[in-house]
Structure formats: structure tokens, C-alpha cells
Amino acid sequence: MTMLWGAVGVLGVALLGLGVLALCDRRARRHEWARLAAHQPAEPARFSKAMLHGLPEPAQRYFRFVIRPGTPLWPVVELAMRGQFGLGTRATPRYQAMQARQILAAPHGFVWAMRTRSGLPLSGSDSGRWTRFRLFGLLPVARLGGNADHALSAYGRQAAEAVFWSPAAVLPGPGVAWEDVDANTARVTLTRGTLSQAVDVSVDAEGCPVRVSFQRWSDANSQRVYRRQPFGGCLSDFREVDGYRLPFRVEAGNGFGTHDYFPFFIAEITEVRFPGAREQVWRDG
């Protein structure tokens, strides 16, 4: 009996420790979210086609499509989404229905808070500083970050997603440079401190960005070794929100453009909000 009560005590202490860790993680997520939201300017400049002078023609086409003249340039955006998240491989995707909320404030960071809606009860968050996910809201299954590999990989994600959902953040300026690739593709390079990521944006005749691709720093390979490898996705279902035309459907994953492509991230946007923009919110339905 003494041994039984001892085991119960150890289990109780372990569960208490996991609960405290989960609370600390949620607090860190809230603080990071607030830090990123604070990067929204109080009085943003407004978009003008004069800002596009000297840019490659496909980049000019892109900006003319995604931002209407006179639109306030809000670089910070909050999103809600639903969709599928693949926990497996291309051969066995193991897609789980998911819902998530995200703040994107390139080049300063992002937070993506997700929970599955079917299958394994997985929840947690991804950011420029960490990747933390749990089963049943308690048992850690992934706890990464705090090193150069994670920082560079996460920076690649936020650079690409800025092209998707925060075009004001990729206008030419300090830390943002554009160059030609071909008649319908331009490359934007975002640099912040020691972090740098080039992203290729392919547009149609009207300037709608239909494909985004880049060489992401990742260990999603059979050797589990960090290296640059193809990543990207396709954008569709563009809708106008407060002067921006944004994709409301995104499919993205590793191996983009190769026979190994696995779109593990399939998302449909359900809400868009620019913090500070008179609290205007776009909701689906």
C-alpha cells in the first residue's frame, strides 16, 4: 500500500509539473502576441503606386493587385483559420482537421496557435522563438526552439507568409529588397540582423500571386539534417479586406515543385483583423 501511495504521489507531482509548464507556455504565448501587436504603427502611411518605382515589373504587378491605392499600410495582421494539418508523410499524410489563430508581424515574428478538431487531441503553438505542442493539452510531444536552426527556419515561414497575408510588410524599404527572376516571377529578400530569407513570388497576368516558393532551412528529410530545401505553396480564393486582396485558401509544404511535394498545411481563412485599424474585423459568413 505504501508503494501504491508513493506511485500516486509521484504521478501527482508529475502532472502538477506538466500543468505548470503548460500555464507558463500559454503566458509566454500571450506576451509574445502582445509584443508583436505593438509593432503596428499608430498612423501608417498610405499606399501609392509611386512606392513601386524601380521595382521589377512582376513585383509592381503583385503590389498593384494586392493593395489598393490609398490603403493604410498595416504590417501586422491577425488571422483565424481552419483546415487540415498533416502529421505524417506524403505517402501517409495522416491529415487532422485543425483550427488556428495567428499573428504575423514580419520581420519581427509570428505566433501560430493551433488545435486539432479530430483524431489526436493536439494543441500548441509555433513561433519565431519556439515550437511547442501537447497531447490532451498536457503531455509534450514537441518542444523545440531557442537555437539558430529554429530561428532561421521560422524566419523563412514568416517571410513567405508576409507575401501571402501582409503585403505592407514586404514593400521596398530597410531590410526588404526585390529582384527579377523571370517575366512572371520576382524575388523578395527579407533581412533582419543575421537572418535572411529570399522568397520567389509568381504572379498571373493581373498580378495575382498564385505560387510562393523558397529554399527553407529545414530538417524535414530522411537524414534529419538541417539544410536548404524546397518549400512553398499555392494561393487561391482571393478576397478584399480593408483595401487588401488576400488569399483565403493556402496549400503549402515541403518539397514544393518536386515529386516529393507534401502539402501538410491546408488552410482556409475565416477571420482577418488588422490590430489598431479601428477594430475592423472581416469574418467568413
Domains of the chain (ranges plus CATH)? Answer: 2-283 (2.50.20)
What confidence score (pLDDT) does residue 17 get?
A: 58
Q: What is the mean pLDDT of the chain?
A: 92
pLDDT band at 107 (very low <50, low <70, confident <90, very high): very high
Residue 139 has pLDDT above 90, yes or no: no
pLDDT band, very low/low/confident/very high, at 137 (cuts 50, 70, 90): confident
pLDDT value of residue 25 = 78
- Here the cell at position 282 is 472581416
pLDDT at residue 141, as a whole number: 84
Rounded CA-CA distance 265/86 in Å is 7
C-alpha cell at 200: 520567389
Question: So what's the pLDDT on residue 186?
Answer: 99
DSSP assignments along the chain, one per residue: -HHHHHHHHHHHHHHHHHHHHHHHHHHHHHHHHHHHHTTS-SS--B--GGGGTTS-HHHHHHHHHHB-TT-B----EEEEEEEEEE-S-SSS--EEEEEEEEEEETTTEEEEEEEESSSS-EEEEEESSEEEEEETTTEEEEEEESSHHHHHHHHHHHHHHHHHH-GGGGSSBTTEEEEEEETTEEEEEEEETTEEEEEEEEE-TT--EEEEEEEEEE--STT---EEEEEEEEEEEEEEETTEEEEEEEEEEETTTSTT-EEEEEEEEEEEE-TTSTT-EEE--
**Proportion of the chain above pLDDT 90, given as a percent:** 80
pLDDT winner (highest mean) among 6-15, 84-93, 172-181: 172-181
Cβ atoms 208, 244 nearer than 8 A: no
Contact 272, 78 (CB under 8 A): yes
What is the reported pTM?
Answer: 0.90
User: pLDDT digit string (tens) for 174-185?
Assistant: 999 999 999 999
pLDDT > 80? residue 14: no
Q: Are strands 244-254 and 281-283 parallel, antiparallel or unpaired?
A: unpaired
| CA-closest candidate to residue 63, choices 243, 242, 223, 231 | 243
Does the pLDDT value for residue 284 go beyond 80? no
Give CA 259 to chain center in angstroms. Answer: 24
38-82 tens-digit pLDDT: 999 999 999 999 999 999 999 999 999 999 999 999 999 999 999
Euclidean distance between CA atoms 62 and 277, whole angstroms: 23
What was the pLDDT predicted at 199? 99
Beta-bridge partner residues of 196: 191
Per-residue pLDDT, 176: 98
Residue 164 above 90 pLDDT?
Answer: yes
